[in-house]
Amino acid sequence: MKLYFDAERHLKHNDGNLQKRIFDDKRLTNPKHVFALVYSTIKYKDHIEHVIKKSRIQRDLKIKISDALLALLVHDLLFSSRGRIESGKHPIKDAVLAHKTRLQAEFIKLKLKHKVKSVEQLPTKENDDETPVRWFRINTVKIDPERFNQKHKFFSKLQPVNRFQELTQPGLIYQDDHIPNLFGIHPKEKLSQTEAYKLGEVIIQDRASCFPAHILNHNKEHIKIIDACAAPGNKTSHAASYLPQDENAVVYAVERDEKRVKILRTMSERALGKNKKKLIQVLHNDFTKTNPQDFADITGLIVDPSCSGSGIFGRASDEEENNDQRLEKLASFQVVIMKHALSFPSASKVVYSTCSIHAEENERVVIDLLSDRQVQSQGWKLATRDEVLPSWERRGIESEFVALSRDPEICKQLAGGCVRSNPKEDGGIGFFAACFVRKKNDGAEDCEDENEKDDEDGDGDEWSGFD
Ligand code: SAM
């Protein structure tokens, strides 16, 4: 039982760097084994506690055992690959094994509940909540990237790697290939303690969530833009960083929710500093109630509406949260808010995004919009891939666009106007963005001409919907 008593000590006092603490403990004969046990027990802590609680063995144990020790023993019995308590005969071991059948029954129920076959497939804090990479961008509104490295030695000391997958430990840094001034580091890196973070010269923002502002204005062609659903303001401040040098340059950041408006204001002030205050104007308003005619000089919009959030870790498997009805409701709201954005008289580009992985909120919203007569008559198309982060490989789901065209080439082109990011696999949250464009003076007539042009086989039902 020595292994378990040693591990119990460290599990009870789980503060600071666990690995360092265990390997520095001179009393341990096998620190590697103790660390693996404590680490894995912490990883499955919620599940272990659930099994212990449901089996009610604490009530019936013949010997008093601390919660930490019991968790370690249950871990080895059920959650380890060996499936046994690693000790010779001992009254504590016997007391737990007396309830082995009950524990095993609850363990099976747990796996059924999560629809998994093995322990590794169980959701854990580690695999649910943690981003595989901590992404941050240099806030170019506040500091020139050239000056950044000279000023902030913390970052220049990090070792560059070529792929974000190589960020296996602190001390490394990856410069993103797709978004300028965006970097990835190990999530355990103490970024929030750096001076750069405290000064607002770096902003923590998931990589995919940086796509909309980049797609909208990487050419710096839009001087006045609207972020229609702005709080807490990550995309707003990123969009501000793409504004050209122009005294009229502004992001109108619209937010409906009163509490969130406050957060948006604080975030915007922090991101801009005193001198650039005018770059963001916060409007506490329901975007769908704004009058597009009051914003006749707006040429670009970002619409990042409320969504199921299924791309955010830990939420995808929550079936209750994402049932069909809820998705349907969200999708119709997303179409409404997008239609409003597309009705701004001078708008030539609108980027739609969600942190959802569901086609209902993504490609199908795009399809609904492209099929809408009003949207068509306003001249809107889906941008082609070369305008929408062309270097990013994962695009929209082609098969979804069969709803618009039976031509696989057209489906591919439409999907090319969208980008997707898969949670974890692509280094961050699950995300979707699509870009709508129209040329100046595009209207109903142009739209109809396009329809005729695309309907080459004359069957009347092929409409390309892309620019
Ligand atoms: N774009 C934000 C960012 O990157 O920090 C996140 C936006 S969050 C997904 C959606 C936001 O839209 C919420 O703060 C919500 O209150 C707001 N919202 C929802 N409906 C709205 C509406 N009709 N008008 C304005 N804001 C709205």
CA of 307 to the centre of ligand 1 (A): 9
Coil/strand/helix, residue 264: helix
- The token duo for 295 is 């914003």
Residue 288, ligand 1, Cβ within 6 A? yes
pLDDT above 70: percentage of residues in the chain: 90
CATH number at residue 379: 3.40.50
For residues 198 and 214, state if they share a domain: no
Strands (E), 269-334: 280-284, 300-303
The answer on 110 and 175 residing in a single domain is no
Number of independent structural domains in the chain = 3
Task: Tell me how far the alpha carbon of residue 299 lies from the centroid of ligand 1, in angstroms.
Answer: 20
Query: Residue 386 has what pLDDT?
Result: 97
Is 290's C-beta closer than 6 angstroms to any atom of ligand 1? Answer: no
Q: Would the pLDDT of 412 be above 50?
A: yes
158 and 222, same domain (yes or no): no
Q: What is the CA radius of gyration of the chain?
A: 27
Question: Is 206 close to ligand 1, i.e. is its CB under 6 Å away?
Answer: no
255 is in an annotated binding site: yes
Quick one: pLDDT band at residue 14, thresholds 50, 70, 90? Answer: low
Give yes or no: residues 330 and 445 share one domain.
yes
- Decide: 118 and 81 in contact? Cβ < 8 Å: no
Q: Is residue 432 part of a domain?
A: yes
Whether the predicted pLDDT of 458 surpasses 90: no
Is 91 assigned a ligand-binding role in the annotation?
no
Indicate if 308 and 221 belong to the same structural domain: yes
C-alpha 50: how far from chain center: 28
SS3 readout for 427-467: CECCEEEEEEECCCCCCHHHHHHHHHHHCCCCCCCCCCCEC
Asked, for residue 268, whether it belongs to a domain, the answer is: no
CA distances from 281 to 67, 114, 235, 250 (A): 53, 45, 14, 7
Whether 82 and 220 share a structural domain? no
Residue with CA nearest ligand 1 atom 1: 230
List the domain range (segments joined by +) for residue 89: 2-121
Please indicate whether residue 411 is annotated as part of the active site.
Answer: no
Are 61 and 27 contained in the same domain? Answer: yes
Domain boundary among 121, 151, 167: 121
Q: Are residues 359 and 411 in the same domain?
A: yes
At 275, the pLDDT band (50, 70, 90 cuts) reads confident
- Beta-carbon-side half-sphere exposure of residue 197 (alpha carbons within 13 Å): 13
Kindly give the distance from the C-alpha atom of residue 253 to the centroid of ligand 1, in angstroms, as a whole number. 10
Is 210 annotated to bind a ligand? Reply is no
- Closest among 206, 407, 429 to 311, alpha carbons compared: 429
77-111 pLDDT, tens digit per residue, is 999 988 999 989 999 999 999 999 999 999 999 99
Is 140 strand, coil or helix? coil
My answer on whether 196 and 213 are in the same domain is no
210, 307, 355, 447: the catalytic one is 355
92 domain residue, yes or no: yes
Q: Is the CB of 260 under 6 A from ligand 1?
A: yes
Specify if 428 maps to a domain.
Answer: yes
Q: Does residue 323 sit within a domain?
A: yes
d(Cα 186, Cα 169) in Å, to the nearest integer?
A: 6
Say yes or no: 19 and 160 in one domain.
Answer: no
> Distance (Å, rounded) from C-alpha 76 to C-alpha 430?
34
Q: Does residue 151 form part of some domain?
A: yes
One domain for residues 409 and 321: yes
- Ligand 1 site-directed mutation target among 205, 206, 255, 290, most atoms within 8 Å of CB: 255
Asked if 182 and 110 sit in the same domain, the reply is: no
